[in-house]
A and B are shown apart, each in its own frame.
Chain A
Amino acid sequence: MAKDNKSMSETQLVVFDLASENYGVDISSVREIMRMQNITRVPGALSYVEGVINLRGKVLPVLDLRKRLSLTVAAQTKDSRVVVVDIAAGEVGVIVDAVSEVLRIPDSSVEPPSSMITQANSDYLMGIAKLTDRLIILLDLNKLLSTGMDGASLAALIKDDSILAEKEPELAAAAAS
């Protein structure tokens, strides 16, 4: 037992598929996993927000993780799932292609993303878990869901009326048609 603490500690992940890659989130933030159901669109929501669903009497926002990660958009299949996660802003559902397993990985297998990732807005990546047969991309959902597509803070976005102003010509055009 001469190993140090770092290699002893482990993280339990919920692993899911997205565009034939493996992603993982900390199991402690996952509330439940649901089958797909009808989603009600919410006008004015962020582009990657699919809408809201009924989670046992609660209205739950649902995001399309493919859109959020700028992956190619694919049709939902019977394997598609909504993973309900608890983040700082509240509970949200994220749509994934399929949920594959719950996995325990040693923290020592995780490498920080900076060396491998060149993309600018990648702070939602916590790291990459290198397992013997594959790689699992670890997501920090808090960062993923609280930061806009262009990196602008969502809080600022909500406060900023200029979004509406931008829509104005569009709306006026729509009205004229």
Chain B
Amino acid sequence: MSFNTEIGPEETKVFLEEAEELLQLLDENIIKLENDKENPRTIQEIFRAAHTLKGSSAMLGHQRMTEVAHAMETLLDKLRNKKLELNSLIVDALLCGIDAIKSLTQEVVTLCDGQTDVQAIVNQLAIASEKTAQGESPSGDNHNAGQVSIADQGMALDEEAQHKLSDAVAAGLTAYRIRVSILPGSEWKAVRSMQALGALGNKGTVVASQPSMAEIEQEKAGEELRVIFCTDRPAEEIRSALKSISDITEVQVTVFTARAGQAGRETAGENNGNGQAQTSSGGQGLDPRGAADQPKLEGLQSIRVDVKVLDGLMNMVEELVIDRSRIGLVGKMLEGRYPDDDLVSDLIGTSNHIIKVVNELHQDIMKVRMVPINLVFNKLPRLVRDLAQKQDKSLDLILLGGETELDRTIIEQISDPLIHLLRNAVDHGIESPAARKAAHKPQKAKITLTAFQEEGHVFITLEDDGAGIDPQKIKRAAVKKGMITQEAADKLTENEAINLIFAAGMSTASQVTEVSGRGVGMDIVRTNIERLNGSVSINTELGRGTTFTIKLPLTLAVFQGLMVSIKSETYIIPLASVLETLGIEAESISSVLCEEVMNLRDEIIPLLRLDAVLGLSDHSGHQGKCYVIVVKGDNKRVGIVVDGLMDQQEFVIKPVARHIGDIKGIAGATILGDGQVALILDIPVLIKIAEKSGKTEKKVAVGAAR
């Protein structure tokens, strides 16, 4: 291995973190570029990432990685300078390069040579950069040499304008950058633009405008007018002069520094429609300008923190939260015992303050752990692209609401189910192009992934415009696999049939492919989501497409729960699965086929005795008053019989060691205010256990899926 041995573990760690980020960025941007070929900013970002990778790998002495990065950089440089036209050959070569670098970074960890054939990748990149270069005319090299664009304005200054600008600045005038918004509905955009330029002309010198005067005269005015303007008048005067023109809705006046004018950056892609902007984005002089594009240091208000440190902090705060409840409880007890003691009231005052601070601390630490779901979303375009290509399907993946934040642990655990659903959508949902054509659908399919926050939950919807799910097909598959009998299948409603896809062992794909069809997926998807205290539902229309809706709590560490007592033990039921609670007399429990059920507003709800399901000893029948908690889980509604309802509050969830036995139906534990441990029930699993034991099978069918 040709690594520089003087590099310490700390540097290696930094390198790996950086490399991971850069690779992710490359992945995203290359896919982005494929859909938006003309975006010079994206190319620039890719180039910079590849360049940084080259530099840091060279520093580490990882020569093979440097070679790949260098080949990528060479190719990207040609793209950047418009010597190459982007095509799929290039994109494939670049993606291969990224994959190679990914596996090469692994070598840094394992410290042994991997199987990556660097030479082949480098050749592929070289071929991609040579092949397409042929026949390219070396045009566009010199004619725009004198042009400089204005940062963020997408506006180019030609030589004449630059002279004007530098003369005016030399004469002691101030240069302003002005943005005028014209009422979108206005029929007089050209007139208003001209009026604005005229008004400015009275107060100083218009250096350049976009659209230019000539364009405005040709009625090419839009809703926005951008001007570089030199004057000795104050900005406020200019603003009010412009504001007085009718149809002008907004005026922004900012000082335009000469330095920025000379070192202007490449234009943003948003102005592609403008000829001027396009010519200025290519060509030379990009390298010295690159520095201007770096984010300023003072703009960075965040620091990098090791996740372990964060988790440690979280654990400590959780302990504080538990102690908080305990302190509050002890304080109250002391107050009852010594109502007139000054020291006690002093203690209670202090403990109230501690409680408040701990609450705030808890809130804040939870916020720190929130990360945008983009961390998951960003991986998806590449995945979908590869998948679609493999299956010769053509589709757009639209990602919305990526900034929606969720607790880190949820983000980590939602990734796999989401990828699975997405794969299913591409694999089964989307039809082949031929089938789509036959169905008079656009050949290019569409998958939309949306995340949003509502009512203290995060929703993720996955919508495709594919074939939809055929309930009959599901029924046939279920019967064929012996999951249900033909009679049972006939009785199922469409909705119930569709929900069978979540059952274990279900797959309707006629062929098992590399990606899906093994019949393990959806079952696990739902289990994983329910384990996160979330739920997943499905809505499908044959021939039109399918929508999956995932509902997730914002955080896992804390949840709302209902404290109940069963015999002398205390259990917690997550409020997320509770539909309602009822106080009933034991006599009102009736029995159907030896199974306990109750009548809830003319609906038969099967009842579950926890002591029986959990295998607690001594489960004599209840007498007198008891409570029924109606819960939903595993797509069923069941009533859980408990002896007492105690309290509803926030609980911190703690894992229960798995090595102490075959513990099922328990999601975790929590520590109560009095220091006691109480177990949290895992409702979906409990229902499954009850069902498996044969106890509730018939009843569950009665109360199934509504």
Residues of A within 8 A of B (CB): 37-38, 40-46, 49, 51-54, 56-61, 63, 89-90, 92, 145-146, 154, 157-158, 163-164, 167-168, 170-172, 174-177
- Apart from A54-B671, A54-B677, A171-B695: 17 A-B pairs, beta carbons within 8 A: A41-B616, A42-B666, A45-B660, A46-B661, A52-B679, A59-B656, A59-B677, A63-B660, A90-B657, A154-B661, A158-B658, A158-B659, A168-B693, A171-B613, A174-B609, A174-B612, A175-B695
User: How many residues does chain B have at the interface if contact means C-beta atoms less than 8 Å apart?
Assistant: 42
Contact partner, B665, options A43, A56, A58, Cβ 8 Å? A43
Q: What is the bound-complex CA distance between A30 and B655, given in angstroms?
A: 22
B694 proximal to A (CB < 8 A) = yes
What are 13 of the A-B contact pairs (CB < 8 Å)? A44-B663, A44-B665, A45-B661, A49-B661, A51-B677, A54-B677, A59-B654, A90-B659, A164-B662, A171-B612, A171-B693, A174-B612, A176-B594
Contact partners of A54 in chain B: CB under 8 A: 322, 671, 675-677
Residues in A with CB closer than 8 Å to B613 are: 171
Collect the chain A residues with CB atoms within 8 Å of residue B621's CB: 177
The reply to whether the CB of B318 lies closer than 8 angstroms to some CB of chain A is yes
A45-B661, A54-B675, A175-B612 known; A59 vs B693 contact (CB < 8 Å): no
Q: Which chain A positions have C-beta within 8 A of B595?
A: 175
Q: Check A146/B659 contact, CB under 8 A, given A52-B677, A164-B692, A174-B619.
A: yes
Interface of A is mostly: mixed
CB of B689 within 8 Å of the partner chain = yes
Across the interface, which residues of B come within 8 angstroms of A164, CB to CB?
A: 662, 664, 689, 692
- Cα distance A157–B659 when bound, in Å? 10
Within 8 A of A (CB), among B76-94: none
Report whether A44 and B666 are in contact in the complex, using a CB–CB cutoff of 8 Å. yes
Given contacts A164-B664, A168-B693, contact A57 B671 (CB under 8 A): yes
Residues of B within 8 A of A41 (CB): 569, 616
Return the contact of B662 from the options A145, A158, A176 (Cβ within 8 A): A158
Residues B660 and A43 in contact, CB atoms below 8 Å apart:
no
Cα of A49 to Cα of B603 in the assembled complex, Å = 41
| CB closest chain-B residue, reference A174 | B612
Q: State in angstroms the CA–CA spacing of A176 and B609 once bound together.
A: 11
The answer to the question of B678 belonging to the interface, with a C-beta cut-off of 8 Å to chain A, is yes
Q: A92 to chain B: closest CB distance in Å?
A: 7
B614 within 8 A of A: yes
Asked if B676 and A42 make an inter-chain contact with CB atoms under 8 angstroms apart, the answer reads no
A54–B675 alpha-carbon span in the complex (Å): 7
Q: Which of B318, B609, B659 has the largest count of A CB atoms less than 10 A from its CB?
A: B659
Contact B693 A45 (CB under 8 A): no
Closest B residue to A56 using CB positions? B319
Question: Closest approach, in angstroms, between the C-beta of B324 and any C-beta of chain A?
Answer: 11
Question: Is A40 touching B693 in the complex (CB atoms < 8 A)?
Answer: no
The answer to whether the Cβ of B251 comes within 8 Å of any Cβ in the partner chain is no
Q: Are A52 and B694 in contact (CB under 8 A)?
A: no
Closest residue of chain A to B674 (Cβ to Cβ) is A38
B565, chain A: closest CB distance, angstroms: 13
Q: Which residues of B sit under 8 angstroms from A175, Cβ to Cβ?
A: 594-595, 609, 612, 693, 695
Contact residues of B between 645 and 690, Cβ < 8 Å to A: 654-666, 668-669, 671, 675-679, 689
Q: Which residues of A have CB within 8 Å of B619?
A: 174, 177
| CB closest chain-A residue, reference B315 | A57
Q: CA of A168 to CA of B612 in the docked complex: distance in angstroms?
A: 11
Between A52, A157, A163, the greatest number of chain B beta carbons within 10 A of the residue's beta carbon is seen for A52
Given A38-B676, A40-B679, check contact A171 B615 (CB 8 Å). Answer: yes
Q: Is the CB of B692 within 8 A of A42?
A: no
Q: Which listed residue, A61, A168, A176, touches B657 by the CB 8 Å rule?
A: A61
CB distance from A155 to the nearest CB of B (A): 8
| A43 x B662 contact (CB < 8 A) | no
- Bound together, the chains give a CA A61 to CA B656 distance in angstroms of 8
Q: Which residues of chain A have C-beta atoms less than 8 A from B676's C-beta?
A: 38, 40, 54
Closest to A90 in B: B657
Instruction: Kindly state the separation between the CA atoms of A15 and B692 in the bound complex, as whole angstroms.
Output: 46
- Bound-state Cα–Cα, A38 to B315, Å: 23
Closest to A158 in B: B662
Known: A43-B614, A158-B662. A57 touches B319 (CB 8 A): yes
* A157 vs B654: C-alpha distance when bound (angstroms): 23
Known: A168-B693, A172-B695, A174-B612. A59 touches B661 (CB 8 A): no
